[in-house]
Amino acid sequence: MSDLINKTSQFFSSGIIDLFIGYKKGRLGEGKPAFFTKPDQLSELIFDENCIVNLAVYLRKPELKKYSKIGILANFGTLRALLQLAAENQITDGQYLILTVADGKVLEFANLKAIEEYVANNLPKPNPERLALLKEIESKSREERWDFWTRELSSCIRCYACRAACPLCYCEQCLVECNQPQWVGVPPTGLGNLEWHIVRAMHLAGRCISCGECEAACPMEIPLGLLTQKLNMTIISNFGQIPGTKREPDYALSTFKVDDKENFIR
């Protein structure tokens, strides 16, 4: 940790950064997001596997505009989010100082290409517990699945915390805020809630970098990450495109292959 603090401190003292987004110890020992503007604050800086919040979500905050150069301590999800944001023209190469810690060593990424390589070499396998949960739901009958989701989604209060926590939900006007026409029912009825979660899943299909922040942020404990996870798996297996691994656009839903396979078109 001292290596990380020393390095970050040097970035401050040499004037390379004037804001560093990292983590400090949270209430249960996990990392919570922390913003450092002076090197003497850095004694609180930590990084370990319990630092799970995706810090890329903060980059869109207008409050950060006043900082000339921002450093960010990126966990794996953050790195993928940064790549996807670059592919979507939201950040540029070299805009941020990007660090991570791997095997106890501080890594500074020279550019997005370096992140691409790092991500490619370290892509994790899907969490087996999640897969098992998904499988369990998928093995239910059609009616049971409908019932399961109707019940789960009825808890949704439409706080949109899932959206706020997602580093890729950066639209200035979310679809749910379009009211001419009103695409998604705003009242949290069963219908409006289903529509919202369909829209959220579809908008993240091919873009979701699987950081799990949406579900973590859900105050109602809805397993909504399963929806995006399922669509991601569909996209990877059908089209071979893995979101958040490339700095150039490679979006499954704006590309196609002439021989894309399906079995339901008559």
Taking alpha carbons only, the member of 77, 27, 81, 7 closest to residue 49 is 77
Q: What is the phi-psi region of residue 120: left when phi exceeds 0, alpha when psi lies from -120 to 50, beta otherwise?
A: alpha
Specify the stretch interacting with another protein by CB under 8 A; choose among 1-9, 94-102, 120-128, 155-163: 155-163
Peptide bond preceding 62 in cis form (omega within 30 of 0): no
Told to check if 92 binds another protein by CB under 8 A, we report no
- Site membership for another protein, residue 142 (CB under 8 A): yes
Say which DSSP state 14 is in: T
Site for another protein in 181-200 (CB under 8 A): 181, 183-191, 193-195, 198-199
Q: How far is CA 233 from CA 95, 124, 205, 230, in A?
A: 31, 13, 9, 5
95 vs 154, beta carbon nearer another protein: 154
Provide CB contacts within 8 A for 119, sequence distance 6+: 76, 79, 80, 83, 244, 245
Q: Which of 7/158 has CB closer to another protein? A: 158
Query: Which of 30/118 has CB closer to another protein?
Result: 30
Residue 92 burial (10 A CB sphere; 0-12, 13-18, 19+):
exposed
> What number of chain residues touch another protein (CB under 8 A)?
96
129 binds another protein (CB under 8 A): no
Q: Closest separation between CB of residue 169 and another protein, Å?
A: 9
Does 235 sit near another protein (CB under 8 A)? yes
125 versus 266: smaller Cβ distance to another protein: 266
* Beta strand 70-73 pairing with 96-102: parallel
Nearer to another protein, 15 or 258 (CB): 258
By CB under 8 A, tell whether 258 contacts another protein.
Answer: yes
